[in-house]
Structure 1
Amino acid sequence: MPQEPQPKRMNLMQLTFIVAVNMMGSGIIMLPTNMAKVGAISLLSWIVTALGSMAIAYGFAQAGLFNQRPGGMSAYAEDAYGKSGYFLVFILYFLSLAIGNVAIGISAVGYLSSFLPALSATPVATCVSLIFLLWLTTVANFGGPSITGRIGSITVWGVIIPVGLLSVFGWFWFSPSTFGAAWNPHGLSLGEGMGSSIALTLWAFLGMESAAQNSAAVENPKRDVPLACLFGTLGAAVIYILSTTVIQGIVPNEELAKSTGPFGLAYAHMFNPFVGSIIMALAVMACLGSLLGWQFTIAQTGKAAADERMFPAFFTKVNRMGAPVTGMIVMAVVQSLLALMTISPTLSEQFAALVNLAVVTNVLPYIIALSALVIMMKSAGVSGSKYAFNVFIVTVAMLYSTYALYASGHSAVMGGMLVTALAFIIWGFLAPRFSGQAGTPARAAAA
């Protein structure tokens, strides 16, 4: 009997492209404005972030090869810390997605306000517009995953194409004098300049932890997954660095720092306001598509945890089209509250506050999950140079992540610690469900 043909698997180049596209999304499009508030010296943050992000991506690629259970980072943490580690990583990552969604919504409001200035005329108007977009993309997801996936695969190009083209062709409009005037308007030291935007630049790389999830569909996963993680992260880094550098030499720093749509403004300077408006429209499309996809992802993440009895049971409920509607509605309420809690005088200040908090709640799970790689390798019998190299890279990744926590600022770290405290309180009530699996320490102590 002839064997059925095996499905064609991805090669290194295809996987690398997927990794880069997954990271780019809408994370870049408000960054030039926030970096301009510091000056072009903030571009030095990209160097530190690119190296740290590649170390993190490599660490997760290795962890994904040793542990292929569902749950991603949560499953990695479970190898070292048991169910409590699984829950802590899940809840922090889950909340970081919610915070990140609000930041993406702020980006969409910023670009939409170029067409409808009233949307961001006051802090209250910005907040109302943001909450409307959060609910709009939530309701749009009720149609199920197939519709969401098709929309997301198209809209992501609304930011990748303009940013990619600017990285290559924007240099024809680059002015060294404009860039020189923007370099260090506030007289920061080299160290201050390099650390000034670590959280903002790391925001653009969030999502690299998902790079190893395609390992089952790769021709040679042991070789290609780590390489694709590194090359994909490096490729995204090159585009990020080129685009945010060239824009500082096209748009005067003072004008860029006040913009609610920096890439549209750059194209308006390069060509004319009409072209700038087209870029603005593409950015809005990309933000809404990204927000649509992430709203579905966060509900699915909650459903996966609820299936493991680590989250309220109502997150498991889906409609006839496979959409976890109840979970989506609950998370839309949570995100609306986040929008109200972070309301700021300007749109860019609210974006920066959300990004800093999202980075803190994302980086803590990075550190916890990456620290489990040592026990994974011990269990798998890895030794010698491979073990030493992996330990070195993952240590660099964890130290960089710790530095990113510090660079996020006091208020963001305080918020992250409060969330962590609440997570342990919740776990205290959930832990009895897993007492049979968690071993017998409590029973031994009682005896």
Structure 2
Amino acid sequence: MGTTTGRPTRPEDRHGAGGAGEGAPGGGSDGLQAGLKNRHLSMIAIGGVIGAGLFVGSGAGIAAAGPGILLSYALTGLLVVLVMRMLGEMAAADPVSGSFSTYADRSLGRWAGFTIGWLYWFFWSVVLAVEATAAAAILTGWVPAVPQWAWALIVMLVLTGTNLISVGSFGEFEFWFAGIKVLAIVVFIVIGLLAIFGLPPGDTAVGVSNLTGEGGFLPNGPGAILSGMLLVVFSFMGSEIVTLAAAESPNPVESVRKAVNSVIWRIALFYIGSIFVIVTLLPWDSAAVEKSPYVAVLDSLDIPYAGTIMDVVVLTAVLSCLNSGLYTASRMAFSLGERGDAPKSFRKVNRGGVPATAIWASVAFGFVAVVFNYVAPDTVFEFLLNSSGAVALFVWLVICCSQLRMRRRIEREAPERLTVRMWLYPYLTYATIALIVFIVGYMLWSPEGRTMMLLSVLVAALVVTVALVREKVRGADAVPRS
């Protein structure tokens, strides 16, 4: 594949439509093994959009926007659908490890692939610490004799071992984790709808009075829709994981196509559907809803052991996110190593066909972050959280810009590879870019989002500077000396 950046073509740029490792006996792309089965990828695609943030963090969004949070989720979901369509177009045309980071490298310049790759790795490495701590808190509540730090260590070690064995073991764990999440959401929605219409387990039909009462559908005004978006936008991070995982499947193009085509109903059902049940059954300003909305609904219907049930579901969601986060961070580190933007050891795979060094490097940063979460939660760890918080928006913006340039090149060189096409190209792409830039600007203006955005921009600027300096040094080294 050629480039549009004026850079010399590197070996890793010369991939056909099938990815870097097409035709390698028994292997996936770039030395990775094609160990993910179709059912693994299907469940990763379905469950990937269901994070612990939906179960735990949605209460804050409901408190901020009231029933209008439905519009916040709908607008954010629309943004994710458009971004995933663009990413799906590129991934179906060229399924490679590194996904959007590799596409940014080829379409926008090496600095862009370097920057977004390391920022994405940083984000998921911090997520490892957050999820390990959350899992440890739940487990300590069940078995208080084991200290919380010990549970965090155990969880990290178990899932590290799972990822080190083979990509198939990761896929199997994620298959069951995602399955439990999906089942929980579906059962929750069914029970909630029955209660709304006055069928058991509810006694009388609730109707839609909670959607229009307590101050109306937008009790805090239209501006609360945007405030709600700031709170929910990051819970959608993870939708893109399936395009990374597709490179380690037997049929990556078909897997990507299915995942992209199903993203609309997945977001509509799991996010908007479950939040609709919550704000319809209970008053939005209920203290119980803000604290734990799903438990509050089950308690209101007198479902026995509601708290314990949701603890199990949340623990599953946390472990799923941790498992996926470790996989995603290690594969991004592997891709950076393949392109010479990370230590060469990151691109080495063990006998199981997984990048062991990249996995250990990712989990090591996660371990360090866990330590900071215990010893310096209000300083160092808070900085890590805030400085990685806006990475989702940066990733989505880079995907949009990469798709603009990559689409033109594919149409010129190999239009038959466009098996997934972005709708109304390029107009919807430009509209999506405008919406992302607007959200970034609103975060800078909003007191709630300003600190996170400023710190995220600062870290991004530092990584961009490193990338540009590296590129300049490499360019100078490449100049023949007389």
Q: Report the TM range for the smaller structure's normalisation.
A: 0.7 to 0.9
In 1, Cα distance between equivalents of 2:161 and 2:182 = 27
1:432 CA displacement: 5.7
CA contact (8 A) 1:264 1:279 kept: yes
CA contact (8 A) 2:45 2:242 kept: yes
C-alpha change, 1:316 and 1:66, in structure 2 (3 Å) is closer
CA contact (8 A) 2:189 2:273 kept: yes
1:51 CA displacement: 1.5
C-alpha change, 1:34 and 1:356, in structure 2 (3 Å) is farther
CA contact (8 A) 2:107 2:402 kept: yes
Deviations 1:149-185 (A, max 9, x none): 3222212233222222122221233434445455669
Q: Give 1:3's aligned residue.
A: none
Percent identity between the aligned chains? 16
Given residue 233 of structure 1, which amino acid in structure 2 is its aligned partner?
A: I
Q: Give 2:406's aligned residue.
A: 376
Alignment equivalent of 2:190, drawn from 168, 171, 179:
168
Q: Give 2:177's aligned residue.
A: 155
Q: Are positions 1:56 and 2:83 aligned together?
A: yes
Alignment equivalent of 1:243, drawn from 262, 274, 279:
274
Q: Are positions 1:266 and 2:297 aligned together?
A: yes
Q: Are positions 1:390 and 2:420 aligned together?
A: no
| SS of aligned partner of 1:28 | helix
Q: Are positions 1:420 and 2:439 aligned together?
A: no
Given residue 95 of structure 1, which amino acid in structure 2 is its aligned partner?
A: F
CA contact (8 A) 2:92 2:257 kept: no
C-alpha change, 1:374 and 1:115, in structure 2 (3 Å) is same
Alignment equivalent of 2:50, drawn from 19, 24, 38:
24
Matches within 5 A, 1:6-405: 19-38=45-64, 39-105=66-132, 107-108=134-135, 115=142, 129=148, 134-140=152-158, 141-143=160-162, 144-146=164-166, 147-174=169-196, 175=206, 176-181=208-213, 187-190=219-222, 192-212=223-243, 214=246, 221=254, 225=256, 228-252=259-283, 253-259=285-291, 261-313=292-344, 315=346, 322=354, 323-324=356-357, 326-336=360-370, 339=373, 343=377, 358-381=388-411, 389-405=424-440
Q: Give 2:6's aligned residue.
A: none
CA contact (8 A) 1:314 1:327 kept: no
Given residue 418 of structure 1, which amino acid in structure 2 is its aligned partner?
A: L
In 2, Cα distance between equivalents of 1:91 and 1:403 = 24
C-alpha change, 1:165 and 1:342, in structure 2 (3 Å) is farther
CA contact (8 A) 1:32 1:247 kept: no
| SS of aligned partner of 1:310 | coil
In 1, Cα distance between equivalents of 2:451 and 2:68 = 24
Q: Give 1:435's aligned residue.
A: 475
1:57 CA displacement: 1.0
CA contact (8 A) 1:56 1:397 kept: yes
CA contact (8 A) 1:64 1:212 kept: yes
| SS of aligned partner of 1:410 | helix
Ranked by relative contact order (alpha carbons within 8 Å, sequence separation 6 or more), the top structure is: 1
In 2, Cα distance between equivalents of 1:78 and 1:316 = 17
C-alpha change, 1:299 and 1:133, in structure 2 (3 Å) is farther
C-alpha change, 1:414 and 1:117, in structure 2 (3 Å) is farther
CA contact (8 A) 2:386 2:456 kept: no
CA contact (8 A) 1:66 1:377 kept: no
Segment of structure 1 superposing worse, 137-146 or 309-318: 309-318
Given residue 158 of structure 1, which amino acid in structure 2 is its aligned partner?
A: I
| SS of aligned partner of 1:188 | coil
Q: Give 1:124's aligned residue.
A: none
Q: Give 2:450's aligned residue.
A: 410
In 2, Cα distance between equivalents of 1:328 and 1:50 = 29
C-alpha change, 1:87 and 1:414, in structure 2 (3 Å) is same
Given residue 426 of structure 1, which amino acid in structure 2 is its aligned partner?
A: V
C-alpha change, 1:354 and 1:55, in structure 2 (3 Å) is farther
| SS of aligned partner of 2:84 | helix
Given residue 221 of structure 2, which amino acid in structure 1 is its aligned partner?
A: S
1:212 CA displacement: 4.2
C-alpha change, 1:17 and 1:306, in structure 2 (3 Å) is closer
Segment of structure 1 superposing worse, 81-90 or 390-399: 390-399
| SS of aligned partner of 1:207 | coil
1:307 CA displacement: 3.8
In 1, Cα distance between equivalents of 2:129 and 2:110 = 29
Given residue 77 of structure 1, which amino acid in structure 2 is its aligned partner?
A: A
Given residue 327 of structure 1, which amino acid in structure 2 is its aligned partner?
A: A
Aligned residues: 415
| SS of aligned partner of 2:48 | helix
TM-score, scaled relative to structure 1:
0.77
What is the alpha-carbon root mean square deviation over aligned residues?
A: 4.2
CA contact (8 A) 1:342 1:354 kept: no
CA contact (8 A) 2:211 2:279 kept: yes
